[in-house]
Every structure is written in structure tokens, then in C-alpha cells.
């Protein structure tokens, strides 16, 4: 079973790439989007509300349940989150390998990291705001860009692919 972990800031192209793979997409975004639809609010409002009232922890739980279901059922999947820090990725990869062992499965972990020029990120985010009514606070994006650590094979990936 193949697991693809996407790495990159918001606007780097992760979700667009994920959709081309034809695998199950595991992401907390789908739960935020569902919450926005149910409440009749924007993605931004649903995201902020989910954090302020503690629902985002539940979305994260669902995210890991989706992953576990894929592993249990031998389904290839892609993890569509920013995964910006080495520490975060090491923890995630360790968790994935433990889940696979629990179910007696063999898991191949591919990392795909995005090195997207900052001006392209901002253009994409502006386009997303207009087309999808989904915006991300500039301060958060700047923080993501600043904290982005390029992944290494030592983190536990079986192999890495760089996307420009």
C-alpha cells in the first residue's frame, strides 16, 4: 500500500496535486468544509469557530480514523496537510508505521514536497479566495513559509519527490 505525504505551505499546490493521484485523500479540510456547509458560513469562519470551540480536535480524530481505515483496507491514500516541520513528519510517519504493523500491512511512504515561489503562493491564494471563497490569513501563510523545513529521507520516508 502506498501512502503519499504532501509537504508545503498553503497555496503551494498540494490539494491540486492530491486530486490527480486517484487515491483516498485524508485531510482535516474536508471536515471544516462540511462544517461550513452545514452552518452556512465561509470556510474561514468554520475554521476559526472549530478552533475556538474545540471542534478541530474532533476533525483531527476523524482524519486519523480515515487513515486507519485506509491502512486496514489496503487502500492507497494521500495525506493533504502542510506537514511543515521535521518533528511533525517524524511523528506522523511513526504513527503510520505503527498502524500498518497493527494490521499486518506493508506500507510504502512517499513524500512529495513543494518548493513553490512565494509570489506564486500568493497568486494562488488570491485566486482561491475569489473562486472558492476560501481565504487563509496572510499572517498564517507568512508563518508557514518561514517555518517550512525541507523533508529528508532520515525522517522515515521510503523516498522523496520534489515538486516545483
Please give the average per-residue pLDDT across 5-30, as a whole number: 96
Q: Tell me how many domains the chain contains.
A: 1
pLDDT digits (tens, 9 = 90+) for 51-85: 889 899 999 999 999 999 999 999 999 999 999 99
pLDDT at res. 162 = 98
Confidence of residue 134 (pLDDT cuts 50, 70, 90): confident
Least-confidence region, from 86-90, 107-111, 131-135, 147-151: 131-135
Average pLDDT in the chain: 95
pLDDT digits (tens, 9 = 90+) for 92-126: 999 999 999 999 999 999 999 999 999 999 999 99
- Residue 48 pLDDT > 90, yes or no? no
pLDDT at res. 43 = 84
Nearest to 113 by CA among 17, 32, 19: 17
* CATH number of the domain bearing residue 23: 3.40.50.300
Nearest to 162 by CA among 110, 116, 112, 108: 112
pLDDT higher at 42 or 21: 21
Length of the chain: 164
DSSP string, 47-93: HHHHHHTTTHHHHHHHHHHHHHHHHHTT--EEE-S---SHHHHHHHH
Is 151 strand, coil or helix?
coil
The domain in which residue 116 lies consists of: 2-163
pLDDT at res. 136 = 84
- Residue 132 pLDDT > 90, yes or no? no
Neighbours of 60 (CB within 10 A): 13
Please give the average per-residue pLDDT across 130-149, as a whole number: 90
Confidence of residue 139 (pLDDT cuts 50, 70, 90): very high
In the chain, beta strands by DSSP E: 2-7, 24-26, 77-79, 108-114, 159-163
Amino acid at each position: 500500500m502506498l501512502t503519499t505525504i504532501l509537504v508545503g505551505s498553503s497555496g503551494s499546490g498540494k490539494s491540486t496535486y492530491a486530486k490527480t493521484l486517484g487515491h483516498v485523500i485524508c485531510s482535516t479540510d474536508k471536515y471544516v468544509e462540511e462544517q461550513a456547509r452545514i452552518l452556512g458560513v465561509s470556510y474561514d469562519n468554520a475554521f476559526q469557530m472549530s478552533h475556538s470551540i474545540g471542534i478541530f480536535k474532533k476533525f483531527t480524530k476523524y482524519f486519523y480514523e480515515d487513515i486507519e481505515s485506509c491502512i486496514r483496507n489496503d487502500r492507497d491514500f494521500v495525506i493533504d496537510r502542510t506537514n511543515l516541520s521535521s518533528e511533525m513528519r517524524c511523528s506522523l510517519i511513526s504513527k503510520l508505521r505503527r498502524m500498518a504493523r497493527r494490521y499486518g500491512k506493508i506500507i510504502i511512504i512517499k513524500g512529495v514536497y513543494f518548493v513553490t515561489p512565494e509570489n506564486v503562493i500568493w497568486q494562488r491564494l488570491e485566486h482561491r479566495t475569489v473562486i472558492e471563497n476560501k481565504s487563509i490569513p496572510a499572517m498564517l501563510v507568512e508563518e508557514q513559509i518561514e517555518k517550512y523545513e525541507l523533508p529528508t529521507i532520515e525522517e522515515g520516508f521510503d523516498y522523496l519527490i520534489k515538486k516545483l
